[in-house]
Structure 1
Amino acid sequence: MSGMERGMEIPAESPSVDAVRRCANPDCEKAVSPARGPRAKYCSRTCTNRAAARSHRSRARGRRAWAPPCPHSCERPGCDRLVDGERLRRRAKFCSSECERMAHSRPAPVHACARVGCGVAVPVERARHGGRYCSDQCARLARRERSTAHSKRSRALARQRSAARRDRALASRLEALSADATARIKQLEAGTAAIAREKAELEEIALGHEAAARDLAGWLWQLACAYGDQIVAHERVRMILTHYLPEIRGHGA
């Protein structure tokens, strides 16, 4: 046998893979089957449960001893019966399912009739079903009042909308009239300025004509002085001369 073969030999004293293991339960002498896996400590589920129970008992040592529950009064207000028997074992707070339902049920609210002017309280049966009025007559009257109020609000809203439309139309008309008046005022101002310019020009022309007429009258008077009064014998010429030459009025007379 070669050295390599001697190195691969398994010693006789070393345990094999399928070596027999003893159950970890002190009360059991059986061996652990290889079929339970390499990490199994117990031979069966029974030994596992017994070991777990023993461990639990060892941990529970020193705890307070268990005492059975004592009967107690029902927690529903107004009930004097005791909670006992099966409900006590289930740690119930109420003596019966009826008491539990009554304790958790919401009582019907007690309120006055919702109609304005009616102070009668709403009956329990009507309040339990969500009723707001003490009777059917009050409900009909309340519906009629709501309908009347709704009609009034609708008519008032219609009047407000109509007034708003009229106001908008009037505002639009006033705006148009204001724009037209502004345009006309601008036209009048432009016309007034043009008239003022024309008047100034006419005044300048009149002043020029008056100066020319005065010069002409002076020339005529000079001619009359030089050539005799025959040139001014005409009545219209004398009137023009006396108008533009006031200094000759006494002389002509």
Structure 2
Amino acid sequence: MELDFKGIQVIGFDADDTLWVNETYFRDTEERFAELLEGYETKNKIDQELFKMEMENLELYGYGVKGFMLSMIESALDLSNKSISQQTISEIIDLGKQMISHPVELLDGVEEVLEKLKGKYRLIVLTKGDLLDQERKLEKSGLSQYFHHVEVLSDKKELNYKNLLDHLNIDVSEFLMIGNSLKSDVLPILNLGARAIHIPFHTTWAHEMVNEEEQVNNHLKLNSLRDVLKYLEH
């Protein structure tokens, strides 16, 4: 199946692990969290229980560092049978604060690509997570100048995308989404009749993984954001 991108007027970019590094910091923090609790359980068990807690809390806390921090605290209480020390709880909170204050690390080629596409397309950011945290990262990234609109969604399902595209008066036939997650950035977009480019990041959160039967071939998969310039007019 040959894919073309003629008629594209608006390009949506995911933020975390598409424009800048994100998941790596979560994995590093999980390692440090497991070290704090190594006296209570094995690392494998700690990882499993933390992920389970995150999934249980998604509907309450949503995506982002703050919900992750609360899930770490709850997991620590459960795994220690509520005997965890106040000092350890304080250290867990510090882990979350360190994630929030971490410098923004742009992925290779991001600014070069945005510079070449600016003015040719209407560029928007479509991400999910904590509003304050995502706004902070965008500001620190220095990329705000390239985007016409920034939207932080509570989730990235078909209805979320449809409502936003309708609100912004964007025709699905003129929209292209670029992101690192098949589950959040590609499948919902294709189901709406728009086009998508998948640029995998080397680390993927388990919640964002899709089953083999959900794999699709009517989208473009690239190794680098820089590669999109081969397919788009600029």
TM-score bucket (shorter structure) = under 0.3
User: Structure 1 or 2: larger helix share?
Assistant: 1
Larger Rg: 1
TM-score normalised by L of structure 1: 0.16
User: Structure 1 or 2: larger strand share?
Assistant: 2
TM-score normalised by L of structure 2: 0.17
Higher relative contact order, chain-length normalized (CA < 8 Å, sep 6+): 2
